[in-house]
Amino acid sequence: MRKKPKITVIGSLNMDLTATSAKRPAAGETILGERFDTFPGGKGANQAVAAARLGADVSMIGMVGQDAFGDELVRVLEQEGVRTDHIGRVDTSTGVAVIQVVGGDNSITVIPGANFQLTPASIKEKKDVIEASDIILIQLEIPIETVAAVAAYCQEVNVPYILNPAPAQALPTAIIQQASYITPNESEAAVLFEDTNEALREFADKLVITKGEEGIIYSGGTIAAFPAQAVDTTGAGDTFNAALAVRLASCSQLADACRYANAAAALQIGSPGAQAGMPTHQDVTTFMRQNGENPL
């Protein structure tokens, strides 16, 4: 039997507070919304759930508060089969994301809370977990100095890491150079690079730019997105990154991994909430065959 890819996700855990409405309120305006939901989220936790559903052996490194949201986020990860023994608890509120969903698209305000207590010192205690991984997934909802510490250690022990540079911000050159793969969307790429075409040449076989319904671009060209009816795009990028990690850790070529990741993201946006619609490996392979793609 084929070994499960071993993936460690280092990043945020948030409770998503989601309001759905027909329009966004203007400054000073009050409107009536259509519904309110709470969903487990955070880019780190989302990616951990997505990778676990796609068949990986997943460990999560992160921080939550000593509160009900923290309890619930850890419980959900455990229920999904994610290893949670490397999630710390601190005397700060658990991270929260306030999400406004309008017409299937979203705007998000993140309050980091406990996520910003995941420090470089915390990472020093987890080096054995990193070293035992096939691939690391990391995002930017934790302190940049922590991301830098992970990047340096991954390079030291020759463990590949995927940098999902979200939310958008400028980064030290070393973090970008040390990444095995970088996966910005268009707006994030514009923050990171003065010229994305030049960046695609400089970081060939490393830089993957996601463009929503237009698919992705990388040094090998463009890979089209799969047809999908968007209900809620929250978590689409997280699903893409997790799926990419799963396939790359399983030794797929980058183009094949991107096609698989596109399919996983297309399935995910058909349900409300970041984690609710995340597909299984079987879901993805069936969907790819239905759309004329070979899932190998």
Active-site annotation holder among 134, 232, 238, 256: 238
Please state, in angstroms and as integers, the Cα–Cα distance from residue 183 to each residue in 72, 86, 162, 192, 265, following that order.
29, 25, 7, 11, 14
Q: How far apart are the first and last CA of the chain?
A: 16
Beta-carbon contacts of residue 60 (< 8 Å; ≥ 6 apart): 8, 9, 13, 44, 45, 48, 77, 82, 83, 84, 86, 87
d(CA 46, CA 106): 16
Size of the chain, expressed as the number of residues it contains: 296
Q: Can you read off the two tokens belonging to residue 128?
A: 């054995």
Q: Which residues of 147-183 are buried (b: 16+ CB within 10 A; e: fewer)?
A: bbbbbebbbeeebbbbbbbbebeebeeebbebbbbbb
Phi then psi dihedrals of residue 194, to 5 deg: -65, -35
**7 phi, psi to nearest 5 deg:** -120, 135
For residue 206, what are its two tokens? 């490393």
Helices (H), 86-225: 120-124, 127-131, 144-157, 173-178, 186-192, 196-202
Catalytic residue at 195? Answer: no
Tell me the H-state helices in 206-278: 236-249, 254-268
Active site residue ranges: 238
